[in-house]
Chains A and B, each alone.
Chain A
Amino acid sequence: MPESIETDVVIIGAGPVGLFAVFELGLLDLRAHLIDILDKPGGQCAELYPEKPIYDIPGWPVISGQELTDRLLEQIRPFDPVFHFNRMVERVDRRDDDGFRVVTDEGDEFSTKAVVIAAGGGSFQPKRPPIRGIEDYESGSVFYSVRRMADFEGQRIMIVGGGDSALDWTLNLAPRAERVTLVHRRPDFRGAPDSANKVRALAEAGEIDLLIGQVAALEGEAGMLSAATVKLVEGGEKRVEISRMLPFFGLTMKLGPLADWGIELRDNLIPVDTEKFETSEPGIFAIGDINWYPGKLKLILSGFHEAALMAQAAKRIVHPDEKVVFQYTTSSSNLQQKLGII
């Protein structure tokens, strides 16, 4: 059993609203750990539109998704948040002493007084490619990431896609597999030009097969693939015998395991009150795009407001005996000390 990490608050989701929650909680002396399925902070801002301008952040006539993320990270640095990336929270269980036990798919365990769900549109998960019947093979033959190299040693692997993941795994697995076939819908690759050139060189040397087209059909039985048919752009079809498939079709947002945490949902959103932004489960809060209340607007600025009010309520749960005095960062020496200004 891994050691449980003790904290005041676990924030699920390190998007802009989750990040700002660290600030509001920090001003009230609450320590936070953040868990995110991505490998970096910023959520949709970093994953979907890092370069795209945002025009409705107060005080910023224009700011990019990445810049906003960077600024928030700078703003919360005094509170020393701890990030846990590449993890999805699988369970949130209420403990007898009224706190929560939070468990991730990597087996980390947290012991916390309050949980803040700031999961935006849900967790980013690999997109299932548009191939009929692919779900039948997901238990044994089709993988969306390489977790254990051994699963691919000596196999006939079909890699599908044209980004860095597809190119990198083609290069990595080619020496270890019996055969690698890379399938992409066009001759140009999204991934790094250097990797693309290496892949083309391997194909020219006959070390791998490179097919330009789209996977049209799969064959196999009992959950194990035996062949795939590729519809070629130049015309015609090619049937390739395979035992593994690695499709890389990007990420999509799914609600994920939070549907099983006993929280009331409404159209895949979490209803909350507008005083504390608490869910149907006391001690579990929901802020940002994932929540719903009458008049809700899915704006980053709404999430910031929700984070501030949530923090007041979380404070009362974590430190029930402390009196909370409302203070301004501009004038409170106490808050300025916490921010490391004085």
Chain B
Amino acid sequence: MPKITFFTHEGKEFTVEAPVGSTVMEAAIRNSVPGIEAECGGACACATCHVYVDKAWQEKTGEPSPNEEDMLDFAFEVRPNSRLSCQIRLRDEFDGLIVRIPERQG
């Protein structure tokens, strides 16, 4: 199973495992990683699972879809590497993925 490392805004590190096919948001919620709210439950409808993808992983995880880009309008301090973690579906090659959690969600 791919391992994902979350860094909170305060710099706390959480490394969790999650099955291929699940999302980065689900990995955070299942493992009680603080700072991911996922108010809409993963429907790409709220922007409260916003993360910054580590620059080294940006190419692999790809660009947000137009719908996701629309929802990012509602997120806090959006940067070029911003994604909604419910829209990043895990693949084998994402093992070691690093994402950072913003100071706050929306």
Contact = CB atoms under 8 A, between A and B. Distances in A.
A127 interface: yes
Nearest to B82: A185
Interface string B52-82: 0000000000000000011011111110000
A291 interface: no
A250 B73 CA distance: 9
B13 to A, nearest CB: 24
Contact of B77 (A214, A250, A253): A214
Contact of A250 (B43, B47, B69, B104): B47
A52 B48 CA distance: 18
B73 A48 contact: no
Given A127-B106, A185-B78, A252-B106, A163 B73 contact: yes
Nearest to A128: B106
Nearest to A233: B80
Interface string B23-58: 000000000000000011001011110000000000
A252 B74 CA distance: 10
Query: Interface on chain A toward B: helix, strand, loop, or mixed SS?
Result: loop
A186 B106 contact: no
A49 interface: yes
Contact of A130 (B39, B40, B72, B106): B106
A20 B106 CA distance: 32
Contacts of B47: 250
A83 interface: no
Given A127-B106, A130-B104, A249-B106, A49 B40 contact: yes
Contacts of A214: 77-78
Contact of B76 (A130, A186, A190): A130
A121 interface: yes
Interface of B: 39-40, 43, 45-48, 69-70, 72-78, 104, 106
Interface of A: 44, 48-49, 52, 121, 127, 130, 161-163, 184-186, 188, 190, 214, 249-250, 252-253
The 6 lowest CB-CB distance pairs between A and B, nearest first, are A130-B76, A48-B45, A49-B43, A250-B74, A190-B70, A48-B40
